[in-house]
């Protein structure tokens, strides 16, 4: 299993870690905005992706900064909500988040 060369893409948030992004690829890297996130605070943003459907899984991970917990909590038709929790002190990094879509069975 895997994705061929050119299957992935990249996108960068423009204003804040809660700004929606659009990337219509089965895998990719989202770089968050470098705004401050206080210790223990959770924010979320919408990933708009035309390949996503209800029943799919979106695997996400923090590929650069250890003090952020990244998780996907909701997948719908054309979108997913990605949550970022700061588990360290107040920080202002642009966090690189990698994702992969795993297509689900029809329900």
The pTM of the full predicted model, rounded to 2 decimals, is: 0.92
pLDDT in tens, 49-92: 999 999 999 999 998 877 899 999 999 999 999 999 999 999 99
E-strand stretches of the chain: 8-12, 21-22, 27-31, 42-48, 57-62, 68-76, 79-86, 96-102
Distances (CA, A) of 52 to 47, 57, 94, 101: 10, 9, 25, 7
The residues near 63 (Cβ < 8 Å, ≥ 6 apart) are 29, 96, 97, 98
Residue 96, pLDDT > 60, answer yes
Strands 8-12 and 27-31: parallel
Distance CA 43, CA 68 (A): 11
Residue 3, pLDDT > 90, answer no
On whether the CB atoms of residues 48 and 20 are closer than 8 A, the answer is: yes
Is the sign of the CA dihedral 27, 17, 22, 95 positive or negative?
Answer: negative
């Amino acid at each position: 299993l895997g994705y061929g060369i050119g299957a992935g893409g990249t996108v960068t948030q423009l204003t804040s870690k809660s700004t929606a992004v659009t990337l219509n690829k089965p895998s990719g890297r989202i770089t968050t905005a470098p705004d401050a996130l206080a210790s223990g605070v959770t924010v979320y943003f919408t990933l708009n992706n035309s390949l996503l459907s209800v029943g799919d899984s979106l695997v996400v991970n923090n590929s650069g900064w250890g003090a952020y917990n990244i998780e996907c909590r909701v997948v719908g038709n054309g979108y997913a909500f990605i949550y970022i929790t700061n588990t360290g002190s107040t920080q202002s990094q642009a966090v690189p988040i990698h994702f992969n879509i795993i297509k689900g069975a029809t329900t």
